[in-house]
Structure 1
Amino acid sequence: MKVNLAVDGGQSALRLRVLPTGRTGSGPGYTHGAAANERMLDAIREAAADAGLVEPVGVVALGLTGFPPEPGAAAAFAGRVLDLLAADEVRVTQDMVTAHAGALADGYGVVVAAGTGLVCLAVDRDGSWHKLDGHGYLFGDAGSAFAIGRAGLVAVQKARDGRGAVTKLADTALDPVTFYRSPTLVDDVARFAPSVLRCAAEGDVVAEGILSRAAADIAETIDAAVAKLAGDGPVPVACVGGLFAGAGDQLLDPVRQKLSTRAQLTEAAGSSLDGAERLATSAPGPYADLTVIQRKL
């Protein structure tokens, strides 16, 4: 019997689920660079092996942080996945789409996915959609774990230089300058976000300020997304991803306080991997325009 595969490819890790058995496997996360697609294919191969995949494959649905943006590149990548897994069909889209599909069962509303990066997707009742942020660590991802981690590491350097306020953040043994040489710089910086959250919870003023700015940035993105949807009624908003999972109400409460009344925070129905499963087992529906499909000839 053929199985379907759901894949969630983030910056920290790539996860694969075999359907309907539910077996899972993982591989390395997305890393920037000229060989990014090759590394992503290697990660899919590793995750499939980790899940013990031996069955023939029907449909593969992938939500990827590293969705190839160039015209035709996504289709070419989907073709390579088709060959790699000897699948009948490959459906590839951005991770923001699988996050939305997993979080909101009826497909209407706003989802903010925040982990290493941050992206927001608003889908209206007529199927029209709007993507906000997700512009990467240099030009966007406001409020993300990377943004929080970077602000925290900047505060570390300023405190050590005597150019900034004294902060518990500077107690870290890390030397941020060494990250410049790391091939996983973005992930390395994002991994400092939990230290910022911990110091904020302990009353460190500098860390509290960083967290407050991140909450304001996230609320700004949500309100901009809500404003793009028709009408003036309440809009369900789900906040998903590793950052929200780790921070919980410490981040959600200040976000909620800064939101407009139209934005109604709601608990996500499922994860990005659940969203990939939805795309692997049913028609793309409201996400059809955001999904590239390749089939075996």
Structure 2
Amino acid sequence: MTARDTPGRMTARDTLGGMVAVLAVDGGQSGIRLRHSSAPRVVEAAGVSRAGDSVTAVAETIATAWEASGFPPADRVVLGLTTAPVEPGEADRLCALVAAGTRSPEVWLADDTVTSHAGALSGAPGVSLVVGTGVACLAVPGAGQARVFDGHGYLLGDEGGAFWIGRRALGEVLRDRDRGRTSALSTRAASRYGDLDGLAIRLHDSAGPVNEIAQFAREVLDAAADGDDVAGGILDDAAARLLKTAIAAAEYLAATDPLDDAPLALGGRMLEAGSPLRTRLDALLAGHPGILPRNADAEPIDGALLLGSADSPGRYRALTHLWKDGAAA
């Protein structure tokens, strides 16, 4: 568990005005991060997979990280989680456990797609496409129902995300090994994971296979930047799939809330400005004049702070589970 200072690009803490103390939580299978409205520090803990009782595991991780952080109790905890349960009973159980573990009377729970959008667009209407281990894409019209695109998890979707890229690349590595060939990606895989013999078994048996595989996406980005054709081809495919997701969200926004251009905020570690994946996606988006891409305003954890600073989730209400003083609101 680590703590670091992160310069904010949003004014969420300023909007709180000392009225509501908010503990923001952003997390999933690769990592869980906590930030309090009273301090710029971000506390990081290991991620939690969906295997087993993830509700208890997530709550315990948050409670342990909060205890170690030195953060004061909050009036409201806002959770933006890739592992957010959708069943109301499980959502209530998670909120109750987090409330007890952080000594907070109120918990708001949402998928990290919601907090990603709030951070990327500072709570304004538009489309956010945030790519990390998975893909979080949300279209929020000025009036009308917000709608999630992709974000179906590593088994059924998240096409173009870090896990998707890492899995594709490691599949190529293992196929090359079966055929007695080596490549730039093979060398990088051996450097990261050790002997390629038994790699598949070790990854399947690891405590966090999704995160382990997703981490290899960074090697793919680096290999593509060095001119490797195989890595470049994987990123070409990833960018094309992300484009389809962005177009579907922009078309929904245009049909629901017509605008001259659909704002599209791009964020996440895989879409950092200048990265090989971002460069490819930018080139594809240039051919779609109805979409106005830009960098995300801030990170999902900033979005959670901003969301929690308001009296209600506003346009995110339908996607947010509210729990207060022992019951769902």
CA contact (8 A) 1:219 1:256 kept: no
1:240 to 262, 267, 277: 267
Partner of 1:275: 303
What are the ranges of 5 or more consecutive residues in structure 2 without an aligned counterpart?
1-17
SS of equivalent residue, structure 1 residue 119: strand
How high is the sequence identity, in percent, across the aligned residues? 37
Partner of 1:168: 184
1:224 to 241, 245, 248: 248
The equivalences for 1:106-125 within 5 A come to 106-125=123-142
* Counterpart Cα distance in 2 of 1:20 and 1:138: 38
| 2:75 is aligned with 1:90 | no
1:257 to 263, 283, 298: 283
| 2:206 is aligned with 1:179 | no
Partner of 1:293: 322
CA contact (8 A) 1:91 1:294 kept: yes
| 2:213 is aligned with 1:196 | no
| 2:103 is aligned with 1:75 | no
Query: How far apart are residue 203 of structure 1 and its match?
Result: 1.1
* Counterpart Cα distance in 2 of 1:166 and 1:56: 54
TM-score in terms of structure 2 length: 0.84
* Counterpart Cα distance in 1 of 2:314 and 2:206: 40
* Counterpart Cα distance in 2 of 1:204 and 1:166: 13
The number of aligned residues is: 294
Partner of 1:31: 49
Q: 1:218 to 1:78 in 2, by over 3 A?
A: same
Partner of 1:128: 145
Partner of 1:284: 313
Q: 1:124 to 1:84 in 2, by over 3 A?
A: same
| 1:59-108 Cα shifts (integer Å, max 9, x gaps) | 11111111002233212211221222221211111101000001102421
Query: How far apart are residue 127 of structure 1 and its match?
Result: 4.0
Amino acid at match of 1:145: A
* Counterpart Cα distance in 2 of 1:198 and 1:19: 36
Amino acid at match of 2:294: T
| 1:128-148 Cα shifts (integer Å, max 9, x gaps) | 211111111111110000011
Partner of 1:17: 35
* Counterpart Cα distance in 2 of 1:109 and 1:221: 14
* Counterpart Cα distance in 2 of 1:167 and 1:133: 32
**Aligned Cα RMSD in Å?**
1.9
* Counterpart Cα distance in 1 of 2:130 and 2:245: 11
Partner of 2:154: 137
* Counterpart Cα distance in 2 of 1:20 and 1:195: 37
Partner of 1:104: 121
SS of equivalent residue, structure 1 residue 87: coil
Query: How far apart are residue 182 of structure 1 and its match?
Result: 1.1
* Counterpart Cα distance in 2 of 1:106 and 1:24: 21
SS of equivalent residue, structure 2 residue 322: strand
* Counterpart Cα distance in 1 of 2:250 and 2:102: 39
What are the ranges of 5 or more consecutive residues in structure 1 without an aligned counterpart?
none
Query: How far apart are residue 16 of structure 1 and its match?
Result: 0.8
CA contact (8 A) 1:115 1:145 kept: yes
Q: 1:106 to 1:43 in 2, by over 3 A?
A: closer
Query: How far apart are residue 35 of structure 1 and its match?
Result: 1.7
Report the more deviating stretch, 189-198 or 236-245.
236-245
| 1:230-262 Cα shifts (integer Å, max 9, x gaps) | 3262111112122223x7342122112223221
SS of equivalent residue, structure 2 residue 75: strand
CA contact (8 A) 1:25 1:51 kept: yes
| 2:176 is aligned with 1:152 | no
CA contact (8 A) 1:5 1:18 kept: yes
